[in-house]
Amino acid sequence: MKHAHSPSHAAADLEGPILDLLRTNRRLMFPEIPNALPEYTWHTLLRALNRLRERRQVELLVHRWDYEVSLRNDHAPK
């Protein structure tokens, strides 16, 4: 595990790498994120995604067995 900080601090540290992934791919299914960032726990990833969703930087679309994560247009690179 990469972080010895509090869970909320680890989630905040992870927001940048998640946004970087999404700026490259625009849309990812949730399992692709932990595959790309294996040093983080799923719990920390979910916490970071929820923080990004609350700030309207990403959207989460529910599929039958998964979540699709996409970068909101106003946060995409120009």
Structure confidence by residue, pLDDT tens digits, 43-60: 999 999 999 999 999 999
- Is residue 7 over pLDDT 70? no
Q: What is the pLDDT of residue 33?
A: 95
> Whose CA is closest to 71, among 14, 4, 23?
23
The token pair at 36 is 């790309």
Could you give phi then psi for residue 64, rounded to 5 degrees?
Answer: -55, -45
Q: How far apart are CA 54 and CA 64, in angstroms?
A: 22
Q: How far apart are CA 13 and CA 44, in angstroms?
A: 10
Domains (range + CATH), the chain: 7-75 (1.10.10.10)
Q: Choose between 58 and 8: higher pLDDT.
A: 58
Q: How many CA atoms lie within 13 Å of 55's alpha carbon, on the beta-carbon side?
A: 12
Q: What is the pLDDT of residue 1?
A: 44
